[in-house]
Amino acid sequence: MTTLYRCITEDDTLQFCHRVSEALSKGWSLHGGASMAFDPVKGVMRMAQPITKEVDVAYSPDLKLGQQ
């Protein structure tokens, strides 16, 4: 088994929630809490949520993490 790691980032919008929810529905698990920070260039809050998933494939830098 291999543990994969991703960090989903997005402006603090409904789209961020949908991206995290979609990953959870595909078997990913939350890895700690979400983080938020103000982006002064865009003038918006940005969100980040780390997630992990156990898979039955060998790790390779060529893995498409969003498709696992």
Structure tokens at 7: 């960090």
The architecture (CATH level 2) of 2-57 comes to: 2-Layer Sandwich (3.30)
Q: Is the pLDDT of residue 64 over 90?
A: no
pLDDT at 67: 77
Task: Give the pLDDT confidence of 4-63 residue by residue, as tens digits.
Answer: 999 999 999 999 999 999 999 999 999 999 999 999 999 999 999 999 999 998 898 998
The answer for residues whose C-beta is within 8 angstroms of residue 53's C-beta and 6 or more apart is 3, 4, 26, 27, 28, 29, 68
Cross-strand bridge partners of residue 36: 47
pTM of the model: 0.88
Per domain, the residue ranges of the chain are 2-57
Is residue 68 over pLDDT 90? no
Can you give the pLDDT at residue 3? 95
Q: How long is the chain?
A: 68
Pick the closest to residue 12 from 60, 47, 53, 52 (CA basis): 47
